Amino acid sequence: MHVIEIISHSPGSCPLGNPKKLEIMENWLENMAVLAAKHGVKVVGVWTDRWGHTSWVAYETPSMEAVAELAAEPEFMARVTFNHIETSAVTSAKETLAFFAKYKKLSQ
């Protein structure tokens, strides 16, 4: 299963303007893959729109529980003090089409 995390903050709470927040984000980025692996989660990728104050993280995970356990790690929790974080389970186009086909069968 795949999970997308959308992380955003206002320009006023940007880590670039606050050394402590910058340290939190650097620590998270440097340790996220090792912490994720500890919970059986793989970091697929991280993308950032620096000027839009938004980042996206894609995870491959065995369950939402594993992502919840990962989110409880201190390096992950520290981010919530100045970021809005939205987490969603997502499917690929192929998985979505398979779901549509199954749904169509059930609804006939």
Domain housing 81: 2-107
* Lowest mean pLDDT across 4-8, 27-31, 104-108: 104-108
Q: How many domains does the chain have?
A: 1
pLDDT at 54 over 80: yes
pLDDT in tens, 63-100: 999 999 999 999 999 999 999 999 999 999 999 999 89
pLDDT in tens, 12-45: 999 999 999 999 999 999 999 999 999 999 999 9
pLDDT recorded at residue 107: 80
pLDDT recorded at residue 45: 97
CA distance 70 to 72: 5
Confidence class of residue 104 from pLDDT cuts 50, 70 and 90? confident
For the residues of 29-69, what is the DSSP string, one character each? HHHHHHHHHHTT-EEEEEEEEGGGTEEEEEEE-S-HHHHHH
Q: What would the mean pLDDT of 95-106 be, rounded to a whole number?
A: 88
CATH number of residue 11's parent domain: 3.30.70.1060
pLDDT at 108 over 80: no
